[in-house]
Amino acid sequence: MTTETSKLRGGENLSLKRKNKNLLYKIFPISQWLSEYKKEDLVGDLLAGLIVTIMLVPQSMAYAMLAGLPPQVGLYASILPLIIYAIFGSSRVLAVGPVAMVSLLTLSGVGAIAQAGTAEFIALALILALMTGVIQLFMGIARLGFLVNFLSHPVLVGFTSAAALVIGFSQLKHIFGIQVARAEHPYQLFINIINNISATHLITLSIGIGSILILTYFKKFLKRNLKSLKFSDVISETLSKTGALVVVFVSTILVWSFGLDSVSGVKIVGEIPAGLPPITIPSIEATQIAALFPIAMIISLVGFMESISIATTLASKRRQKIDANQELIALGTANIGASVTGGYPVTGGLSRSVVNFSAGANTNLASIITAVLIALTVLLFTPLFYYLPRATLAAIVIVAVASLFDFKSFRHIWAYSKTDALALLTTFFGVLIFNIEIGIGIGIATALLLHLYRTSKPHVAVVGRVGDTEHFRNVLRHEVKTCPETCALRIDESLYFANTKELERTLLSAVADEPKLKNIVLICSAVNFIDASALDTLERVVEELNSTGVNVYLAEVKGPVMDRLEKIGFVENFGKENIFLSTHQAIEFLGCKKG
């Protein structure tokens, strides 16, 4: 072995080591932030962990109730999943746990095959968490994160706004203290509530509305008020996040001291079993998998979407990176963790992650601290929630989802593009009229159809020479020179199956309209790819045009497109001499001189 190769070997070893380390960091991001952990990160992580716990304890119980599950299931879903995410997640500040949207989806999916509150319902929620976890894990490993691209912004806004309404409706019965029959379609739920409104339980309603008012005050005004009273930013910020804790505390004390549960019949949470979550191995039947699959798929995508959006936004603020497929792996594993510890589907939550970030979380240690504090709560403090009124939990849900109803985005989208607004509206009404799965399905299909429709009629401009320059512009927008025997067409779209028919129509009618026409120059500066359908059409149309005595030329074909056309032999058939680098060269060659 010569010195040179052994040197190379040494270099290889070194780069191999670095590669291994990078791989370790990629698969277990915890290994990176733990090895780089600095003492000064600790204060932020501790404070953030504490504040998120204060929010999460009441929220997790409230969301579990929204999902049709006992409150402890929400708490269980806030322990192991957080620790697992801290190990695998590529975001350092994402707060994982129960969220409103996924809870609603759980209710909608499991509620279709079992009665909410029953043991079967709880068992199915575990299975759903397992399926969601497996799907996300698989998508992450198979690098299928791009599937989330199907959910366009208008579809998401329509879905989220409709879901906020549905969630709001579903909690009204707790606020009014009435019984409402389960409805198959969301709009029926609204009708059912109206029909039963006369049975309103006034004390429950007072607790509910009081809670909503307090929570709204904390959310909207407290921070400003405290700041104007010269409190420090950190204290104002922290105190304004304790709204849920305060209403829980006050309403529990009220019910306990006046015996409102036994005397007046206010519905309370009741006994929550103490102790750490049970280890649960879901037993699954094939029919259950088939029935839950659509909703598991939607939770996987919608949950991932919510999570990755907030993770990306927060990471960018500190110039950190998020790996979409690693996020899927982390969320998938977290969901599997939820399913084996008595929980239900989880994902990264919007508001708690923002709180975590702004409370100063530097690493996922904050999440681990939250998980430990929730575990302590489950072990020691569950008796404190015995007298907690359900109306208070409903109020927490309602205030949390109110901001999801996004009328501003709707107005913005409506002003920008009527087709995008159409996709939004079909999703919105699809969810309200049918159900979530069908609504999202209709929305995705509409968005795809409209996209195909939009690109099926590409913008094609006839261009001419601007003055004596080498620039060519649209004859309709600019004062330009053209010549009668030659038509220069700029195609402003990639050519693929949805627009090949239109391309053919455009070319053939240009020829049919202009009997003198002898040359067509296709300017391909905006053609980013040509698929097999378009290639076939192009070959056929060129042949047809040639047979009627019209010559076709190409100009400004992009590098990658040209590479493929050369490989397949199109260039050779077409004639290399008929392809020009610039429009100017083509027009010069065809004898349409300047001036």
Site string for a copy of itself, 324-363 (x = CB under 8 A): x---------------------------------------
Q: Which tokens is 353 given?
A: 């992650």
Pairing of strands 519-523, 551-555: parallel
> Judged by CB under 8 A, which of 151, 222, 542, 557 binds a copy of itself?
151
Dihedral (C-alpha) 466, 472, 474, 480: value to the nearest 10 degrees? 20
Q: For 67-118, where are the alpha helices, taking DSSP H only?
A: 71-76, 80-88, 100-111
Distance CA 419, CA 426 (A): 11
In the chain, the amino acid numbered 445 is: A
Question: Is residue 455 a contact point for a copy of itself (CB under 8 A)?
Answer: yes
Shortest gap between Cβ of 133 and a copy of itself (angstroms)? Answer: 22
> Judged by CB under 8 A, which of 434, 535, 551, 574 binds a copy of itself?
535
Shortest gap between Cβ of 154 and a copy of itself (angstroms)? Answer: 5
Distance CA 274, CA 346 (A): 22
Shortest gap between Cβ of 567 and a copy of itself (angstroms)? Answer: 7
Strand partners, 490: 461, 523
Nearer to a copy of itself, 227 or 564 (CB): 564
- Residue 120 three-state SS: helix
Distance CA 42, CA 315 (A): 19
Nearer to a copy of itself, 216 or 309 (CB): 309
Q: Which tokens is 438 given?
A: 């069908």
Nearer to a copy of itself, 182 or 454 (CB): 454
Q: Which tokens is 543 given?
A: 């042949």
Residues in 556-595 that interact with a copy of itself by CB under 8 A: 558-560, 564, 567-568
Question: Is residue 533 a contact point for a copy of itself (CB under 8 A)?
Answer: yes
- Give the up-direction half-sphere exposure of residue 318: CA atoms within 13 A in the CB hemisphere: 15
Binding range to a copy of itself, per CB under 8 A, among 224-232, 256-264, 340-348, 528-536: 528-536
Q: What is the 3-state secondary structure (H, E, C) of 145-169?
A: HHHHHHCCHHHHHHHHHHHHHHHHH
- Residue 206 three-state SS: helix
Question: Is residue 532 a contact point for a copy of itself (CB under 8 A)?
Answer: yes
Number of residues that bind a copy of itself (CB under 8 A): 79
Nearer to a copy of itself, 151 or 222 (CB): 151
H/E run at residue 463 = strand 460-465
Distance CA 251, CA 114 (A): 32
Binding range to a copy of itself, per CB under 8 A, among 170-178, 384-392, 393-401, 529-537: 529-537
Binding range to a copy of itself, per CB under 8 A, among 81-89, 148-156, 294-302, 326-334: 148-156
> Judged by CB under 8 A, which of 456, 551, 578, 585 binds a copy of itself?
456
Question: Is residue 541 a contact point for a copy of itself (CB under 8 A)?
Answer: yes
Long-range contacts of 464-470 (CB under 8 A, 24+ apart): 464/488, 465/587, 465/592, 465/594, 468/594, 468/595, 470/582, 470/584
Total residue count of the chain as it appears in this document: 595
H/E run at residue 376 = helix 365-380
Question: Is residue 50 a contact point for a copy of itself (CB under 8 A)?
Answer: no
Shortest gap between Cβ of 590 and a copy of itself (angstroms)? Answer: 20
> Judged by CB under 8 A, which of 15, 35, 195, 509 binds a copy of itself?
509
Shortest gap between Cβ of 582 and a copy of itself (angstroms)? Answer: 11
Site string for a copy of itself, 472-501 (x = CB under 8 A): --x--x--------------xxx-xxxxxx
Residues in 352-411 that interact with a copy of itself by CB under 8 A: 409
Closest CA to 195 of 175, 170, 207, 178: 178
- Residue 280 three-state SS: coil
- Give the up-direction half-sphere exposure of residue 169: CA atoms within 13 A in the CB hemisphere: 22
Spatial contact of 519 and 590, defined as CB atoms under 8 Å apart: yes
* Token pair 């002003």 in the structure block, residue: 415
Binding range to a copy of itself, per CB under 8 A, among 91-99, 163-171, 541-549, 587-595: 541-549
> Judged by CB under 8 A, which of 38, 39, 230, 317 binds a copy of itself?
317
Shortest gap between Cβ of 520 and a copy of itself (angstroms)? Answer: 13
Question: Is residue 544 a contact point for a copy of itself (CB under 8 A)?
Answer: yes
Nearer to a copy of itself, 39 or 567 (CB): 567
Shortest gap between Cβ of 413 and a copy of itself (angstroms)? Answer: 5
Site string for a copy of itself, 286-315 (x = CB under 8 A): ----------------------x---xx-x
How would you class 245 by CB atoms within 10 Å of its CB: exposed for 0-12, middle for 13-18, buried for 19 or more? middle
Shortest gap between Cβ of 509 and a copy of itself (angstroms)? Answer: 6
> Judged by CB under 8 A, which of 39, 230, 321, 516 binds a copy of itself?
321
Shortest gap between Cβ of 576 and a copy of itself (angstroms)? Answer: 18
> Judged by CB under 8 A, which of 25, 37, 138, 150 binds a copy of itself?
150
- Give the up-direction half-sphere exposure of residue 177: CA atoms within 13 A in the CB hemisphere: 20
Nearer to a copy of itself, 206 or 474 (CB): 474
